[in-house]
Amino acid sequence: GENVGLHLPTLSVQEGDNSIINCAYSNSASDYFIWYKQESGKGPQFIIDIRSNMDKRQGQRVTVLLNKTVKHLSLQIAATQPGDSAVYFCAENIIGGADGLTFGKGTHLIIQP
Amino acid sequence: KAGVTQTPRYLIKTRGQQVTLSCSPISGHRSVSWYQQTPGQGLQFLFEYFSETQRNKGNFPGRFSGRQFSNSRSEMNVSTLELGDSALYLCASSLERSAMNTEAFFGQGTRLTVV
């Protein structure tokens, strides 16, 4: 896949368990954060976003938590399914958008049957 | 509603050649951003176009260029190809400029291999 060769953190979870994927972002001025899922051979797919005026946002089976104090973002996936296997990226957008989206290196989530 | 369409899906070019990639954004979206994805560097921002004007540019050499047409379709061009340009090139479409913190939707990408 696209990330072969890049040493990605790997998270292996049992099907049905909850997953927590973490991301440390770099710029304290960033005010918009997004989680993307990328399956092999496909482009990144939007999962959920959060603005800096929020600490938590929930979607369907997913929750994003934002801790601005320590510049940390997490994605929680409830009751993981085989289809959740993918590489997950966090992205930040800097106020003014001078640099577009800045992506983290990604985490490879593996679902064990 | 059709998604973001990138053509071609796969491309093989020789060092020194030039290449043009195409992106059709979601209907009604006015911003198109381009990203390069490689195993070594991950996803990196190339540039963003909005209303036919380049708004932002990442840290890439001048060999990488692009344009946007009045129908919001965008092309990116890489001249004098190098082996290191082999990558997945992704296009993202959004309603407004990225500075507006608007949701971006990605295409499936063009896999460019330089030999």
Q: What is the pLDDT of residues A5-45, one digit of tens each?
A: 445 789 999 999 999 999 999 888 888 899 999 999 899 99
Q: Does A52 touch chain B (CB under 8 A)?
A: no
* Chain CA centroid to CA A110, Å: 14
User: How many whole angstroms separate alpha carbon B68 and alpha carbon B57?
Assistant: 14
Other C-beta atoms closer than 10 Å to the C-beta of A24 total 11
Q: Is the pLDDT reported for residue B97 higher than 60?
A: yes
Across chain B, what does the average pLDDT equal?
Answer: 93
Tokens of A78: 């409830």
Of B98 and B18, the structure prediction assigns the larger pLDDT to: B18
Q: What is the pLDDT of residues B23-72, one digit of tens each?
A: 999 999 999 999 999 988 899 999 999 999 998 889 999 999 999 999 99
Alpha carbon of B18: minimum distance to chain A alpha carbons (Å): 22
For the CA atoms of A42, A49, B99, B1, the dihedral, rounded to the nearest 10 degrees, stands at 50
Angstrom distances, CA of residue A65 to CA of A9, A86, A110: 19, 20, 21
Other C-beta atoms closer than 10 Å to the C-beta of B12 total 11
- Is B39–A99 a contact, with Cβ atoms under 8 angstroms apart? no
- Is B35–A105 a contact, with Cβ atoms under 8 angstroms apart? no
Q: Does B37 touch chain A (CB under 8 A)?
A: yes
Q: How many A/B residue pairs have CB atoms within 8 Å?
A: 81
Q: What is the pLDDT of residues A68-87, one digit of tens each?
A: 999 999 999 999 999 999 99
Residue whose C-alpha is closest to residue B109's, from A40, A90, A7? A40
Burial of A75 (0-12, 13-18, 19+ CB in 10 A): buried
* List of chain A residues whose C-beta atoms are within 8 Å of the C-beta of residue B21: none
A53's CB contacts (< 8 A; 6+ apart) are none
Interface test with A, best of B29, B49, B98 (most A CBs within 10 A): B98
Which residue from B minimizes the CA distance to A96? B99
User: Do B97 and B31 touch, CB atoms closer than 8 A?
Assistant: yes
If pLDDT is split at 50, 70 and 90, which confidence band does B3 have? very high
